[in-house]
Structure 1
């Protein structure tokens, strides 16, 4: 009966540990990137009970626990709309580097740029690692990319119909950006020269009243000819070097008779002035995308991702982070293939299955009650034995 009490105690101890694991899982059901665990039970060693070598004579000594195993099943991806909230659709993990230089891994991609412009984990401040040009791991930094220098205009596009029955057309406000980021409003003047060359127009590019250059635009069956659909000019802003300009009529420009009314107009230009950084995010390949107020985008380093061959090589260390217990089972790389793709504006939620946890809770509770009942029964039998002796 003393043995029975001991066996019951192993049940109470083991089921208490099981309850703790369930409690930890349910407490973290809303923790981003959390991976649930399950407790492994095993039977205790056996004695022969005086019947050495005979299988039917073996008697057990209760139950023990063999540790926990983590489930790396993916959690739900929930949209947050924040460009630096990242999730991985696949098996990869983000790589972090702590202040002590230790490398850890996480699925909870809630990041931000600190005051030094370095991408870090919001919870711990650990640096998020990327892949440098040499293929090695590097920090992801925007400190030197806060401003975009812009670029000068090279192509100006037009759209609309230049009435073949008209005599001239003047388009003001042709916007051009110079190499220093300055803006200039030029004028394009079209004069019908059909009497000299069928379907032709003289095109003058002016700054104020000064003619920069003159070219010829020719239409055939209402469309610009291949040789004149893009006209090249050289424009020299005040105090700067000459810059090439192309007036592009190839896409949406026609010349049909429509009275004397023309709808030809300035459509767009490809230059941009200097501007400040207005947003950051990551694309599906894990590359940093920096967006500027002038509409320009620039790509930076790609995120360094990791994956493992077996869950036995992974250890949980808290703060939604994991460590490599066996470096031989770990691999590093970038998004794509086995590492998965990066989803910007999403966070992976916990993979805890609450209905499963409640089912396990009932089983653990019943096991604990049964073990307690065994101890109570054995105690009553001992008391009965002692009472018999006293009589």
Structure 2
């Protein structure tokens, strides 16, 4: 009879454990990423006796009650809650985020409440570092699985590469700029940035030096023709300073570009045009008091004139060529004169009509002729000569890619990409469905920084709860399958996965556990009454 006491007691103990599981589920109904547990009951066998009667087995099996032998996790998908925080992440599908503590231990979690710490590390609410792969500048995985760190700023990068991209087009119908050396009006025939009649189109790209300073790279396009057909000359300058093309031991002021009959660039007909020569300097004197001076060699490479110095009223003046036909006072920035690059005529307004015949010193300048390079240039990589920049930055050398430039009967269009940038500070972070973390900076750059790692397990019951939303495998040798986000589950940015606890189901289990506990307690009461009656037999 005493056995039935213990049998009922096992029921009470099992029901208490079941109530603990139920209460834990209900308590965690608001815990992000929580997975509910289900109690597994197992029966106890007190004794089992089998006898044979008339050749048939007869069993006597008396149970010893029950106990909770295990709990099973319910890894079904929880509902999503919108937070609008880009580093709040939810896994839509299988898998776990991976986080690592300061001792190097790795944990797995469905809680995607992440943030940036002061050092730019992506961490969870416990300060554990989120794991993934860092990416290089081209967006490729650059190393092994590691903690994800977002650069809080990016350093300046010197522009080294400028590429013309589709839909860049030079209109084949554009008028030709006549190149007639006998023309009376040389302004109409020789390139001059200050005279729009000497070129067809002009456009610019912003590039950056080693200090992150922006500079304006201008392209001038000039439609020409000769006995071999039509072609284009391309002149470029940085802040008015000429960008020259070295080839065959010479520097050339222009690129000479021809196109095929289908409008694409002719890769064997890209040459340097207008061989550049240097003049170390000249002293020029007015022929009359009109402020005009004429260089001895023309045409002049725009922007190549060095310092022009003179004295007026006891004051020394230094003028600089801005590459657009203007002479700028080095000290004040005022415009004090002009230069006609086609004729080499210099005009300085304050020297005109001042009652004297003045002289100026031109420290240096460059001029060019109509010769072109012997060998063709590679349209994918046209190297330029170095250009000295103001502001203490290193000289800049560029590589041009013209391969996608076309000549079609369509309007002029210009689109170019360059690989430089100024210094930028972090503005915002976004995460794509495939776990790609992008950072946006104040300089307009958007960079692919890292790719989140997602771990999956063949048997998720091997995972053991460690509290604080964390799981670990129950065997050190049990390793997960690790893959980038998006492979088996999508990453939902700005959302959190809520607990998958079903309140209605838990309340039903709560009622069932309560009734079961009452029933087992009633068995003990009944056993006690029967035992009391047995004790009363002696009376």
What TM-score range do you get, normalising by the shorter chain?
0.7 to 0.9
What is the aligned partner in structure 1 of residue 285 from structure 2? none
What is the aligned partner in structure 2 of residue 61 from structure 1? 64
What is the aligned partner in structure 2 of residue 141 from structure 1? 149
The structural deviation recorded for 1:310 is: 3.5
Q: Say yes or no: does 1:225 pair with 2:265.
A: yes
Distance 1:190 1:297, change over 3 A: closer
Q: Say yes or no: does 1:244 pair with 2:403.
A: no
What is the aligned partner in structure 1 of residue 168 from structure 2? 159
- Distance in 1 (alpha carbons) for counterparts of 2:60 and 2:172: 108
Q: Say yes or no: does 1:203 pair with 2:234.
A: yes
What is the aligned partner in structure 2 of residue 360 from structure 1? 509
Q: Is the 8 A contact 1:217 1:224 kept in 2?
A: no
What is the aligned partner in structure 1 of residue 119 from structure 2? 116
Structure ranking higher in helix proportion: 1
Distance 1:269 1:3, change over 3 A: same
Which residue, out of 209, 222, 234, partners 1:178? 209
Give per-residue Cα distances to partners, 1:20-67, cap 9 Å, x unaligned: 21222233233222222111212233246xx88696544333222213
The structural deviation recorded for 1:366 is: 3.5
Q: Is the 8 A contact 1:129 1:139 kept in 2?
A: yes
Distance 1:97 1:185, change over 3 A: closer
What is the aligned partner in structure 1 of residue 491 from structure 2? 343
TM-score, normalised to structure 1, is 0.76
TM-score, normalised to structure 2, is 0.58
Trace 1:1-391 onto structure 2 (pairs within 5 A).
Answer: 3-47=3-47, 56-76=59-79, 80-88=83-91, 91-122=94-125, 124-130=126-132, 138-142=146-150, 146-152=153-159, 154-157=161-164, 159=168, 162=171, 164-166=173-175, 167=177, 168-194=199-225, 197-207=228-238, 211-212=242-243, 213-219=253-259, 223-227=263-267, 232=382, 234=384, 236-238=387-389, 240-246=394-400, 248=402, 250=404, 254-255=408-409, 263-271=411-419, 272-281=421-430, 289-300=438-449, 303=452, 306-331=455-480, 333-335=482-484, 340-341=488-489, 343=491, 345=493, 346-378=495-527
The structural deviation recorded for 1:284 is: 6.3
- Point out where structure 2 has 5 or more consecutive residues left out of the alignment: 53-57, 135-140, 178-198, 244-252, 271-378
The structural deviation recorded for 1:224 is: 4.5
- Distance in 2 (alpha carbons) for counterparts of 1:79 and 1:249: 47
SS of residue paired to 2:173: coil
SS of residue paired to 1:216: strand
Distance 1:135 1:190, change over 3 A: closer
What is the aligned partner in structure 2 of residue 259 from structure 1? none
- Distance in 1 (alpha carbons) for counterparts of 2:242 and 2:120: 47
Which segment is superposed worse, 320-329 or 70-79?
70-79
Q: Is the 8 A contact 2:434 2:491 kept in 1?
A: no
RMSD: 4.0
What is the aligned partner in structure 2 of residue 260 from structure 1? none
SS of residue paired to 1:329: coil
The structural deviation recorded for 1:152 is: 0.6
How many residue pairs get matched?
A: 379
